[in-house]
Amino acid sequence: MTFSFSRAGRWLVALLLLAPAAQAAAPLAKGPRKGGKDDVVTITTPEGTIRLLLFQDTPLHRANFLQKARKGFYNGTTFHRVIDGFMIQGGDANSKDDDPSNDGQGIPGAPTVPAELGPGHPHVYGALAAARTGGPAGTPSSNSQFYLVENHAGTPRLNGQYTVFGQVIQGLDVVDKIAKVPKDNRDRPLINVPMTMKVEHLRKKKITRLYGYQYI
């Protein structure tokens, strides 16, 4: 896959090579219908708290992410690449160690997740998407690395290229803060931005009341 646009676009190659605060309500997106319960993923960072919902029609990515979040895989990983006006990336197990040079490279031989590309999930502000190795649309996703779209206008050039499987429903301001932390020439934060995750199974009515998310 070749990118010829802007510095942010060029860095996406590296990104994908694996090497309630007041805010606008999340846009409507395909998901579980009204009634019943859903899983809210909470990411806690030194910059604040981010909450996510995962889409039902990307079941492989949803199940993989929830399993890792519940088992504590992401605890202690960092947002190891941040590009203001573009995205923040995290989820690499390598970012738990003391060697910043291997962050983003992934674990050799790690399994992948088949792409789940659909027109209903664009790269809007706050979209949760899966990083992947280089290659054409349909290349499998990383089984752990993810990014959150920080560009307020979205990144539509990536639509149909990488699997979008969730949406920030609270904490867009925190995504912005993380994108602006001081970083080196590899877009790695100079001071680690670690995360912990937890999953709560809540009634959808409560999710709407707490976070303003509207189910279709």
pLDDT digits (tens, 9 = 90+) for 85-125: 999 999 999 999 888 888 878 888 889 999 999 889 999 99
Residue 92: what residue type? D
Q: What are the structure tokens assigned to 66, written together?
A: 């929830």
Angle, alpha carbons 47-112-77 (nearest 5°): 25
What is the average per-residue pLDDT within 187-205?
Answer: 97
**Alpha-carbon gap, residue 72 to 117, rounded angstroms:** 27
In terms of Cα–Cα distance, which of 89, 164, 62, 172 is closest to 122?
A: 164
Establish if 166 belongs to a structural domain.
Answer: yes
Task: Find the CATH number of the domain harbouring 131.
Answer: 2.40.100.10
Taking the CA atoms of 29, 32, 38 and 39 in sequence, report the sign of the dihedral they define.
negative
The reported pTM is 0.85
Establish if 5 belongs to a structural domain.
Answer: no
Name the band, by pLDDT with cuts 50, 70 and 90, for residue 6: very low
Establish if 142 belongs to a structural domain.
Answer: yes
Count the domains in the chain: 1
Establish if 22 belongs to a structural domain.
Answer: no
**Cα of 210 vs its chain's centroid, Å:** 21
What is the average per-residue pLDDT within 158-182?
Answer: 97
Establish if 3 belongs to a structural domain.
Answer: no
Specify the pLDDT at position 101: 84
Residue 163: what residue type? T
Q: What is the extent of the structural domain holding 43?
A: 37-103+110-211
Specify the pLDDT at position 58: 97
- Per the CB < 8 A criterion, the answer to whether 204 and 211 are in contact is no
53-94 pLDDT, tens digit each: 999 999 999 999 999 999 999 999 999 999 999 999 999 999
SS3 label, residue 177: helix
Name the band, by pLDDT with cuts 50, 70 and 90, for residue 27: very low
Specify the pLDDT at position 64: 98
Establish if 2 belongs to a structural domain.
Answer: no
Establish if 119 belongs to a structural domain.
Answer: yes
Report in angstroms the alpha-carbon separations of 88 from 13, 20, 73, 205: 14, 20, 18, 30
34 vs 161, residue with greater confidence: 161
In terms of Cα–Cα distance, which of 137, 145, 171, 134 is closest to 52?
A: 171
Query: Of 1-10, 30-39, 89-98, 146-155, which one has max mean pLDDT?
Result: 146-155
Establish if 25 belongs to a structural domain.
Answer: no
